């Protein structure tokens, strides 16, 4: 039971320490998201401004990069 308690505490600690980060990334002018967008996103003049919860700005950028890279792969199908 101790492992379950430790893992639960890690999840709670992570949730308590999340912050919102806003990151801007260039997108093609006609880019549209596929499916559910897991964070707040606004697109204007070829720039996507994304607000994402994360522990660090680096983690936020990694999440955004992963999302946009997966969207590009979906477009190739």
| Residues comprising the chain, all counted | 77
- Taking a C-beta distance cutoff of 8 angstroms, is the pair 70, 37 a contact? no
Tokens coding 20: 């919102």
**Cβ–Cβ contacts within 10 Å for residue 51, how many?**
14
The pTM assigned to this predicted structure is: 0.72
pLDDT 10s digits, 17-74: 899 999 999 998 888 888 888 899 999 999 999 999 999 999 999 999 999 887 655 5
The domain locations on the chain are 18-76
């Amino acid at each position: 039971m101790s492992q379950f308690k430790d893992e639960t505490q890690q999840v709670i600690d992570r949730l308590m320490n999340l912050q919102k980060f806003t990151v801007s990334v260039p997108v093609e002018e006609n880019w549209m998201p596929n499916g559910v967008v897991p964070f707040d996103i606004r697109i204007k003049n070829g720039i996507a401004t994304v607000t994402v919860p994360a522990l660090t700005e680096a983690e936020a950028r990694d999440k955004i990069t992963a999302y946009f890279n997966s969207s590009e792969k979906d477009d190739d199908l």
